[in-house]
Amino acid sequence: MQKTYDKNNIFYKIINGDIPCNKVLETEHCIAFEDINPRAKIHVLLIPKKPYVNLNDFILDADKNEKLDLFDGIAKVVEVKNLRAAGYRLLTNVGENGHQEVQHLHFHILGGQPLGSFIKKLELD
Ligand code: 5GP
C-alpha cells in the first residue's frame, strides 16, 4: 500500500532550506548531505528533491530523468568521497520492516572504513 507523503518530515525541511545540512553535492533532482548521526567515517544521505515516501513510491512515480539523476548522484558522492576503490555500502530502508525512520526516500552511502558483514543475523521465528 502506498503511504501518503507527510510534509512534516525533517528531509522536506532540509530540501526547503528550513533546516540546515552539511551539503555534499546537489544534482538537478537530488541533494546529498552528511548524516547527522554518522554510523561510519563516511555517512552521506542522498535524497530526491521531490516528495517520495520511499523506494516503492519512487519506482512507481518518478520519471526516467529522476531515476537516472539519482544514480548519477550516487556515483558523484562515490567520486567526491573517494569511495570507489575501497568500496562502500549503499542502502535504503523501506517501511516498517525496513525500519525506515524518516518518511522521505533516502539512500545511505557508508564507507571510509571496513563496514563488517551485512546486517546482524535475525531470529527467523
Ligand atoms: P532511516 O532509519 O530512516 O533509514 O535513516 C534516517 C537517517 O536520517 C538516520 O541515519 C539519521 O541519523 C538521519 N537524520 C535524522 N535527522 C536528521 C537531520 O536532521 N539531519 C541529518 N543530516 N540527518 C538526519
The full set of domain ranges for the chain reads 10-87+105-111
Q: How many CB atoms lie within 10 A of CB 72?
A: 14
Residue 93, ligand 1, Cβ within 6 A:
yes
- pTM for this structure? 0.96
Cα of 67 vs centre of ligand 1, distance in Å, is 22
Cα of 57 vs centre of ligand 1, distance in Å, is 19
Distance CA 17, CA 21 (A): 9
Q: In whole numbers, what is the pLDDT of the chain averaged over residues?
A: 95
DSSP code string of 10-56: HHHHHHTTSS---EEEE-SSEEEEE-SS-SSSEEEEEEESS--SSHH
Residue 59 is predicted with a pLDDT of: 98
Please list, in sequence order, all residues whose beta carbon lies within 8 angstroms of the beta carbon of residue 72, skipping any fewer than 6 positions away. Answer: 27
Residue 23 β-bridge partners = 33
Residue 3 is predicted with a pLDDT of: 74
Catalytic residues: 106
CATH number of 10-87+105-111, picked from 3.90.1150.10, 3.30.428.10, 3.30.70.100, 2.40.160.20: 3.30.428.10
Give per-residue pLDDT as tens, 15-65.
999 999 999 999 999 999 999 999 999 999 999 999 999 999 999 999 999
- CB of 27 closer than 8 Å to CB of 72: yes
Residue 2 is predicted with a pLDDT of: 61
Distance CA 115, CA 5 (A): 32
